[in-house]
Amino acid sequence: MKTVILLFQCADQKGIVAKISDFIFKNGGNIVTADQFSTDPEGGHFFLRIEFYIDEREHTVAALEAGLKPIAGGFKADARLFVKDTPLRMGILVSKADHCLVDLLYLWRSGEIKVDIPFVISNHSDNKALAEQYGIPFHLIKATAGDKKERDILALAKEKSDFLVLARYMQILSGSFIVEYGKPLINIHHSFLPSFKGADPYQQAFDRGVKVIGATAHFVTESLDDGPIITQMVESVSHKDTVNDLVRKGKNLEKHALAQAVRHYIDYRIFKYQNKTIVF
Amino acid sequence: MKTVILLFQCADQKGIVAKISDFIFKNGGNIVTADQFSTDPEGGHFFLRIEFYIDEREHTVAALEAGLKPIAGGFKADARLFVKDTPLRMGILVSKADHCLVDLLYLWRSGEIKVDIPFVISNHSDNKALAEQYGIPFHLIKATAGDKKERDILALAKEKSDFLVLARYMQILSGSFIVEYGKPLINIHHSFLPSFKGADPYQQAFDRGVKVIGATAHFVTESLDDGPIITQMVESVSHKDTVNDLVRKGKNLEKHALAQAVRHYIDYRIFKYQNKTIVF
Amino acid sequence: MKTVILLFQCADQKGIVAKISDFIFKNGGNIVTADQFSTDPEGGHFFLRIEFYIDEREHTVAALEAGLKPIAGGFKADARLFVKDTPLRMGILVSKADHCLVDLLYLWRSGEIKVDIPFVISNHSDNKALAEQYGIPFHLIKATAGDKKERDILALAKEKSDFLVLARYMQILSGSFIVEYGKPLINIHHSFLPSFKGADPYQQAFDRGVKVIGATAHFVTESLDDGPIITQMVESVSHKDTVNDLVRKGKNLEKHALAQAVRHYIDYRIFKYQNKTIVF
Amino acid sequence: MKTVILLFQCADQKGIVAKISDFIFKNGGNIVTADQFSTDPEGGHFFLRIEFYIDEREHTVAALEAGLKPIAGGFKADARLFVKDTPLRMGILVSKADHCLVDLLYLWRSGEIKVDIPFVISNHSDNKALAEQYGIPFHLIKATAGDKKERDILALAKEKSDFLVLARYMQILSGSFIVEYGKPLINIHHSFLPSFKGADPYQQAFDRGVKVIGATAHFVTESLDDGPIITQMVESVSHKDTVNDLVRKGKNLEKHALAQAVRHYIDYRIFKYQNKTIVF
């Protein structure tokens, strides 16, 4: 048995589910779970995720893909098939703060996040020992004022990773980096976006006197801190909390939000659409 | 245009979604939203809710029902069709506490809960003015030690209501009442079930020194406080909170949990299965 | 027995608590609860709230006030005494949306918010019947493009109220209004400030694709939506939620946050300091 | 400068705060923060925690203790002084599950939990490498059906630890162990107590169909799972969550609740009273 995930999106129109579920049925597939969403049932955009398993002795993924093609063509749809449990390669970028990295590595080792981790890249050497302790190659790529060394990062990342996680990486990646990498980047921002963009969000939150703080995991786009939001976590604070308390409470939110976003991503649960996400 | 909701459940098997979505497509239906769940894709129980709209000049609900019958038969399924926005008749039972009743009546008047309210029944007269102010017939049916007057309640409820809401009704209805009424009853229990069943749950919670309290909306079964849970709401408390504070905080949880359960119910989002609920 | 609340603030210095608790002890006071906070124990600002009761046959509030004066003078402190359960007069301003008004009136009638309500002022007549049903004088004061009629509001409010609650009042009050009124105004903003200031915050939140929405009760200052935050409430949302769903979920947050802010205010639990609040 | 924490409790009576704050003032202490609580201002039990700093060149803790003695005697109070940042010795007991242990060790190494960790004791060898990687002595003490080896644990724990943390230790310690150890034990129970006591709480929660799960950190008493609750954390679940999902979500609640309980404990914020806690 092999579990396959179909992600399908197109302009909303009649008969999509009928066509696709018939196709899966005829290929011997047994649907495990299906989710669909339309931004507007009259003239909106339609999203479908179906998880199904097939007996691979009788039906191959290649055959599925070939059969799916004309259906997708008929609906002018973007259709993709993924084999579950084929681990994606998750590259990690990190700076000095280690809490998100520690959490990701722990979840990876304990089997909760099923990925391969081809490398940890950092602009500081602080987390070298940690990465190596888990047997992950660590690359120190120091940005300087004049040269962010994005080409060095790209050289590694493009070939060896399927997506990147910025686990508190404190360098801003350029638009051209994002375009050239061409695959998703997930960032954790230590505020409840869109509040407190930019630097030192906990200090900003402290100064504004908010009563709830948050953390936001989002896809990286060229527009800093404005990419599609995947997950947000919040916690109450009070006048008693110092900036340090916000940082401490925030660390927990950050690692929790980031891990959940990664889990959704590698389970192929996320569609990006118009700077938002649909998370099934 | 008419929006129709299909609730469908049977033993899990291949091809259900294909068959049903094909049926909807052939009847000119446009799917607005669809949810499905299987307790176990290999040999479990399968649940499906599809919301779709049809052009009623071309396709009638009666024709849909006729066409659905053989499909349901083929899968040995329980299939039901509901026309959205045909308001259900929600009978309310209440005792002295008024917060849930006030909230339901407000949500009803402001159009957030689209039901008809044929009556408010109470074993006390405290809420008579409130019900009548909203133009709802109020029936005082006083239980006595020897006679709970369940026959009087049944006489009203069976004929005039599609489901009953116990909005802090402090009488325990007998098993035979529940059987004879034969339609759903939704109760709000003022604790985080299964903790603190029975009387005075806030006092129990205070005595135990919990740090979080809750409220639980659930279907009523013969086994008191053990029916399928629909919604649960929680809030933090501390040593500073007296029993009265728990009651006050709890009132907010109760009305919120009950209103949400009612909303799910009248939107046909709830399946009951093995003393649990699937809430789509 | 009479319960008295002391609010005391000054530059932090040694011996404040000793002096004040000695003073209360010598006046026969029995401390019910005490809270204190310093922005920085070395050179910060100090806040103290003490709730205590006295036997009024032996000790009068007037005598307490006289005795407190030199102590406050010695610390260069701002010290105020309030008699608990002397209801404050809470004026309400509202526009068309009624959910916050309904909640405040319910909590008032049920004794959960112990205030007098001298008037409801609105720029629309929609809520006239509701106010009058509770026996509260309703004043329709229509703002026009050229004249916001702030003088009419002031004429009523200055004399008859101790503080104002903007229970979804959709007119922006001018700085000179706020100065002339000279007493606190509490507003409910339907977003998780500082995100989504200004108009249509739920539409803004929808467009940004946030995964958590909020509501914020805050004191009104001349700088719109930037006043000291008192309470914030949040709730999760997803791609399934339409703008209308955000509005519906938000209504519950708004009334809950506003009611809690009012409760804190009338219990004399709030200090304002540098555009933030200390809420004991 | 040295920061000192006073914990003080006695039957409620007039003048306690006055006496103690005067005492601190006269000893040159500067109060950083103070919290007090009375179960009932008329005839209840009174709790006080004061954190203050002294100039240790002028005032010693020994002198403070001597001076405090007669005051405590006068009020028949239990009074204790602690020097902040003198690390307590936290012994850890663990079985196979490692998530709480990983979290505690991470927080310890990153300075968020300031304790010494003299040992990790386990009835399994799974976590040996982890403990030793952090340089903590690991002791494998295997319980057998006939002999729980409590004497071996006691031999280590009594001498080397100030309190014990059961970080998912799956053996039940006997009443006599608890009595002989004579110091606090903090346990994490993987349910929202008092629901789902005993074995397999996530399976119990799944079977009951609850919509919110929780974790509870509590002091261990002879009555299993009934000790005073320190912290509780909760998270929403739905019909989609399998037992494994509950376990996964629960792991996060458990480590979070346990870490917070430990933090409260080592900051001397917790009073135990009548099977409840006061957490300042």
Active-site residue among A12, A98, A103, A225? A225
CB contact under 8 A, A194 and C208: yes
pLDDT at B198: 83
C99: chain B residues, CB-CB within 8 Å: 106, 110
Q: Which residue of D has its CA nearest to A100?
A: D106
Q: pLDDT band for position A1 (50/70/90)?
A: confident
User: Which of the other chains make 3 or more beta carbon contacts under 8 angstroms with chain A?
Assistant: B, C, D
The residues on B that touch D, with CB distances below 8 Å, are 37, 192-196, 208-212, 214, 228-232, 234, 238-240, 275-279
Q: pLDDT band for position D105 (50/70/90)?
A: very high
Q: pLDDT band for position A25 (50/70/90)?
A: very high
pLDDT at B213: 97
Q: Among partner residues C24, C31, C38, which is closest to D32 by beta-carbon distance?
A: C38
pLDDT at D216: 97
CB contact under 8 A, C110 and B133: no
pLDDT at C67: 95
Hey, what amino acid is at C80? R
B256: chain C residues, CB-CB within 8 Å: 252
CB contact under 8 A, B34 and A36: yes
**Residue that has been written with the tokens 């066409």 in this structure:** B67
D15: chain C residues, CB-CB within 8 Å: 25
pLDDT at A43: 84
Count CA atoms within 13 Å of residue A123 on its CB side.
Answer: 19
The alpha-helical segments, DSSP class H, found in A58-200 are 61-75, 99-109, 128-133, 150-160, 175-181
pLDDT at C102: 97
- Average confidence (pLDDT) over A48-61: 92
- Average confidence (pLDDT) over A104-113: 96
- Average confidence (pLDDT) over D70-82: 97
pLDDT at residue D146 tops 90: no
Spatial contact of C227 and C196, defined as CB atoms under 8 Å apart: no
Q: What tokens appear for D33 in the block? A: 């923060």
What pairing do the DSSP bridges indicate for beta strands D45-54 and D30-38?
Answer: antiparallel
Spatial contact of B186 and D208, defined as CB atoms under 8 Å apart: no
B110: chain C residues, CB-CB within 8 Å: 98-99
- Distance in Å, alpha carbon of C88 to nearest chain D alpha carbon: 25
Give 3-state DSSP helix, strand, coil % of chain C, rounded to 5: 35, 30, 40
CB contact under 8 A, C110 and B98: yes
pLDDT at B72: 98
Q: What is the pLDDT of residues A153-169, one digit of tens each?
A: 999 999 999 999 999 99
Q: What is the pLDDT of residues C205-263, one digit of tens each?
A: 999 999 999 999 999 998 878 899 999 999 999 999 999 999 999 999 999 999 999 99
Q: Is C109 exposed, middle or buried (0-12, 13-18, 19+ CB in 10 A)?
A: middle
pLDDT at D44: 93
D144 contacts: CB under 8 Å, gap ≥ 6: none
- Average confidence (pLDDT) over A96-121: 97
pLDDT at A7: 98
Q: Which residue has the higher pLDDT, B92 or B146?
A: B92
Count CA atoms within 13 Å of residue A134 on its CB side.
Answer: 22
- Average confidence (pLDDT) over B78-82: 97
pLDDT at residue C181 tops 80: yes
Active-site residue among D12, D98, D103, D225? D225
pLDDT at C72: 98
A208: chain C residues, CB-CB within 8 Å: 193-194, 229, 275-276
CB contact under 8 A, D102 and A106: yes
Q: Among partner residues B30, B33, B41, which is closest to A14 by beta-carbon distance?
A: B30
Q: Among partner residues C22, C24, C41, which is closest to D32 by beta-carbon distance?
A: C41
Q: How far is CA C148 from CA A199, A214, C151, C162, D156, in A?
A: 40, 38, 8, 22, 77
Q: Is it true that the peptide bond before A194 is cis, omega within 30 degrees of 0? A: yes
CB contact under 8 A, A231 and C211: yes
Q: Which residue of C has its CA nearest to A270?
A: C239
pLDDT at D224: 76
pLDDT at B160: 98
A225 is catalytic: yes
pLDDT at residue D141 tops 90: yes
Q: pLDDT band for position A108 (50/70/90)?
A: very high
Spatial contact of B213 and B202, defined as CB atoms under 8 Å apart: yes
Q: What is the pLDDT of residues B127-141, one digit of tens each?
A: 999 999 999 999 999
- Average confidence (pLDDT) over B110-126: 97
Q: Which residue of C has its CA nearest to D48?
A: C34
Spatial contact of D133 and A129, defined as CB atoms under 8 Å apart: no
pLDDT at C143: 85
pLDDT at D223: 83
The residues on B that touch C, with CB distances below 8 Å, are 98-99, 102, 106, 110, 112, 133, 248, 252, 256
Sign of the alpha-carbon torsion through A59, A62, A64, A67: negative
pLDDT at A146: 84
Per-chain mean pLDDT for chain B: 95
pLDDT at A165: 98
B210: chain D residues, CB-CB within 8 Å: 193-194, 229, 232
pLDDT at B144: 86
